[in-house]
Structure formats: C-alpha cells, structure tokens
Amino acid sequence: MALTVLPERDKLGLTHGRLYIDGEWVDGSDGDTWTHLHPATGEDVGTFAVASAADVDRAANAAARAFDDWATMRARERSRLLRRIGDLILDNADELNRLQTLDNSVPLGFSGIYQLGAQMAADIFDHHAGWVDKLTGETIPTYTGAEFFFMTLRQPVGVVGAIIPWNAPLMLFANKVAPALAAGCTVVLKPSEYASFAAIRLAQLVEEAGTPKGVFNFVTGPGPTTGQALIDHPKIDKITFTGSRGVGIRVLHATADRIGRTSLELGGKSPSIVFPDVDLDAVAMTSMGMVSMGLSGQGCVCHTRVLVHESIYDDLVNKTAAMASMATFGNPFDPATTSAPLINARQLERVLGYIDQGKIDGRLVVGGDRPGGDLAAGNFVNPTLFADVDNNAAIAQEEIFGPVLAMLPFKDEADAIRLANETSYGLGASVQTGDVKRALRVAKAVRSGSFGVNGYTVMPNAPFGGYQQSGLGREGGRAGIEEFTELKTVCIALGDSPV
C-alpha cells in the first residue's frame, strides 16, 4: 500500500494559509498561491498565499509604524508577552510538531529530540523574556582626566526582516522572533516555502498572545519573489537569515547599498575527529546517525566529515557502514519511522549528483542509491558512506545537505587539526577522545563557532554561529540578542567647558 499523509492532514484541519500584516490575516494582493507537496509521498497537503512586493511593503511599513511604541514599552510588559508566547507553544506542542512533520517529513518521533521540537521553541521565548530588562550598557572611565562622564546604551536596531529555512521551522522561528522582540525590534518574518504550515500556526499563537498590531508581521512565498522583496526593502533595518551560502551572498549584495545590518547562518561541513581511545561502536552509531536518522543529514551543523586516526580507521569504517541499517523509511507519523526523505525533487537531484561525484573521488562503502517500492514516490536516498576521501574532494568540502558521510584517515593530532581546518566553512566540529588535555588542545585549534567534546548539542542560552563562510553573527545567549541592538556611546560634560 502506498504511503499517504492525507489522513493526518485532514485530522489537523489544515486550511489555506494567509498573510499576517498589521494585525490582520489577509490573502496576497496578487492572488497567487503555493501548493506544498509532502516530501515522503508527493501528495498535495495544502496551499498558502504568496506575498507580492506590495504585500511585503505593507508589512515593512506596518512594522516601522509600530516600532517606537514597542521599543519604549515597559520592559515588564514585553517580557510577559514573550512568556505568554512560550506558554502557548507548550500548550499546542503536539499540533505544532505534527504540522512540522507535514512540512518537512521529520519523523514525528524525533520531535522529542530537543532541537527539533516545540519544547525548544518555547524555551527560546522563555529565555529571551528574561533578557528584556537586562540589555544594559556600561560606564567608561575618562581617559584624559577631564570632567566628562561616558556611558553606553543598547538600543533596538529597528525593523527586522527574518528569513528561515525548512529543516527546523519551530526552533528557527523562535530563534529569530524571540530575541528581536525582546530587544525592542519589530519583525517581518518569511518562512521557507517548503515548510510554512508550522510557522503559520506559530504566527497565530504570536497574535493570540496579544502582540500589538504591526509589531509582528508574517509573509509567505518563494525566495526569488517574497524573499527578495524583503531583503530589498529600505525600511528593513536588519536582515537575519538562515540558509545556504549562495543565498546568504545574495542577501549581502542586496543590503550592501544601504549598509543594512545582517546576521547570516550559512551552514557548514563540520568535522568529527576520532582518536583511538573511544568506544568505536558508540562513535559509529553517532557518526552514521548524523546522516541517517531524523532529517537524514539535512542540518547545517551535521558532522558529515569524520576524521579517523589511521590505527582504527578500517575498523571504524566497517562499523559505521553497518549502522546504515538503522535507518527506517516510511510514513513520518509512524513511530517506527526513523529517517526523513529529502525536502524536494530539486534537492534529491542535487544529492544524487554529489553521490555520483563521490564514486569518482572516494570509495563507496554503503548506500548511494534510492529505496523503491512504496517509497518510490518520495524523495528518499539511502544512507551513504564514502571512505578514503581526499579532503579536497567535493564531498569533503561542500555542504551536501543529505544522507552522505565522508571518512578520512589522519596520522596524528596535528594532521587531524590541519584536515579539520582545510575548509571554507567553520560552523561546528567535535572530537572523540578520553584525553581531556587533547580535547582542549583540539577545541582551541579547530576553527569553528561551536565545538563538542564526546557529544554535541545546542541550547537557547549558548551562542551559536560560524567562522569563515559559515556566516556572520551569533544566535543564542547575550551575543545573540545583542545582534538586534545598536551600541550608543553617550558623553556628558560635567565641567563648565564643553571640551
């Protein structure tokens, strides 16, 4: 029997999605719509409005009008509002998780993994609610000894245009909206056209919490039209974008003429460095799990390069290949399903192209093909492992965003660090070792925005972002919320002379 997600769609009562502009739900001015096809089945699961440039203009102007009142609202009121949003997310967690599965086909069972579920989205709002009255400046001693008083202020940057991808819409919606609102900014958010339904429901909850008119606006549609209008708009003071490096470059070009503020999280090619003094079975499971379980490697920080000490290399290659059988494809609402398809047909062809190149640049150990039968209508690719990969090969250097793992041997610690740093990315990395001194040496030497020792995760109160072409800026913690502020220095003359 062919897979179908339509019963779940009907149970959720999914209807046509609309735009939320200046406190009202409206259709797009051009009447255009987008039909979302489910990644696992190819079924039509719903439509939503496509925002035109005129719709984006209305949203940006609404956010600009609302800015002064929101930025000067009492801190206690803004903080309470963010906590109400977080509470509403928890109250509706099951529905949100199911909508996310309708969006991107992440297995529903993986919503219990912190980063992928509604729980983290709620915690992000709760965390940033606590920052509202803590964005303080500092006093600065006078350098010359003259009678002056210096201090700094943190002030909201203005209207924020937020663009999020499809792989973790619940978490990423919160990662953009919560700190922006907490800092006193107003927001226009665009989700990916490949994952809009969970974000639409989140937008409804932001309204339900009592957010003032114009403070939060929500537009849906494809990147080349709706997204481009957002990043081009002169009243957008800051763009915060998570997505591919190619689109990030276009964001920088679009905002350059107006010196627009930007934060970019652009993916990576994260290395996992494995030394001999570890449990190889556990490492093999974790390494293959990065690309075979959950979103099947469709995560910006997935550790898709495994650098292995030569003394254990062959053993770990074999053990990791054996773990590919853990992946179970099927209906993502079935608890037995562990692994997602790729998001769309375009991404499917892209990943298969990398696999074809990998067969030239490395040794295919397992996978490299697609499951058939009832799964043929979906965008599924079997977990794939390449060994003996040259570090300069495309599958070792480029973000594939699919279930493809590359393994490379190294000779010693210095060689491992060299290989890890030979990349244009620098988002995440990790080391597997029982030697704490070695772990700290490697953590300091590898150029990445975050680093794991014998494990890896992200949290709302810890900064997250990348070195090099993995992006600009940080999300999470103090560093993340300060991305939505401008720093002002105030100089006060205390004496009779103004200079």
- The answer to the question of residue 328 being in a domain is yes
Tokens 């060689």 belong to: 415
Q: How far is CA 229 from the centre of its chain?
A: 21
pTM of the predicted structure, to 2 decimals: 0.97
Give the tens place of pLDDT for each residue, 146-159.
Answer: 788 999 999 999 99
Does the residue 352 lie in any domain?
Answer: yes
Q: H-helix or E-strand containing 24?
A: strand 24-26
Name the strand (E) or helix (H) holding 215.
none
Same domain, 360 and 415: yes
- Please check whether residues 292 and 199 belong to one and the same domain: no
Please count the CA atoms within 13 angstroms of the CA of 386 that sit on its side-chain side: 26
Q: For residue 35, is it within any domain?
A: yes
Q: Within this chain, do residues 259 and 348 fall inside the same structural domain, yes or no?
A: no
Radius of gyration of the chain (CA): 24
Backbone conformation region of residue 368, classed left if phi is above 0, alpha if psi is from -120 to 50, else beta: left
What is the biggest distance separating any 2 CA atoms in the chain, rounded to whole angstroms?
87
- Closest Cα partner for 306 from 343, 280, 325? 280
Whether 301 is covered by a domain: the verdict is yes
Q: Locate tokens 């009243």: which residue?
A: 235
Q: Measure the CA angle with vertex 474, ends 470 and 480; round to 5°.
A: 165
- Give a yes or no: residue 190 inside a domain: yes
CATH of the domain at 314: 3.40.309.10
Domain co-membership, 241 together with 289: no
Determine the Cα–Cα distance for residues 166 and 194; give it in Å rounded to an integer.
6
**Of 453, 477, 493, at which residue does a domain stop?**
453
CA distance 116 to 191: 16
The residues that are catalytic are 265, 300
- What is the CATH number for 55? 3.40.605.10
- Are 258 and 300 in a shared domain? no
- Short-list 300, 307, 297, CA closest to 382: 297
248 and 165, same domain (yes or no): yes
**Do 96 and 238 fall into the same domain?**
yes
**Are residues 126 and 257 both part of a single domain?**
yes
Strand partners, 387: 363
Selection from 316, 469, 308, 472 nearest residue 397 by Cα: 469
Q: 239 and 387 share a domain?
A: no
- Give per-residue pLDDT as tens, 404-462: 999 999 999 999 999 999 999 999 999 999 999 999 999 999 999 999 999 999 999 99
Same domain, 245 and 355: no
Q: Which of 225, 247, 266 is the last residue of a domain?
A: 266
Number of domains within the chain: 2
- For residue 46, give the DSSP letter: E
Give the Cα separation of 65 and 182 in Å (integer).
Answer: 18
Last residue of a domain, one of 221, 241, 266: 266
Please check whether residue 23 lies inside any domain of the structure.
yes
- Rounded CA gap, 49 and 219, in Å? 8
Q: Please give the full DSSP string across 280-316, using - where no structure is assigned.
A: HHHHHHHHHHHHHSBTTT-STT---EEEEETTTHHHH
What pLDDT does 499 receive?
Answer: 63
Closest CA to 487 of 239, 135, 75: 135
Cα 497 to Cα 499: distance, rounded to the nearest angstrom: 6
Angle at CA 497, nearest 5°, toward 491 and 499? Answer: 50
Residues of the chain with pLDDT below 50 are: none
pLDDT value for 498: 62
Instruction: Identify whether 223 is part of a domain.
Output: yes
Distance (Å, rounded) from C-alpha 359 to C-alpha 494? Answer: 73
Q: What is the pLDDT of residue 472?
A: 97
Same domain, 213 and 294: no
Residues 248, 366: one domain? no
Residue 19, CA distances (Å) to 118, 250, 413 in order? 22, 25, 53
For position 404, what pLDDT does the model report? 98
Does the residue 474 lie in any domain? no
Residues in the chain: 499
Q: How far apart are CA 108 and CA 335, in angstroms?
A: 7
- Domain containing 426 equals 271-453
Q: How many angstroms separate the CA atoms of 437 and 106, rounded?
A: 38
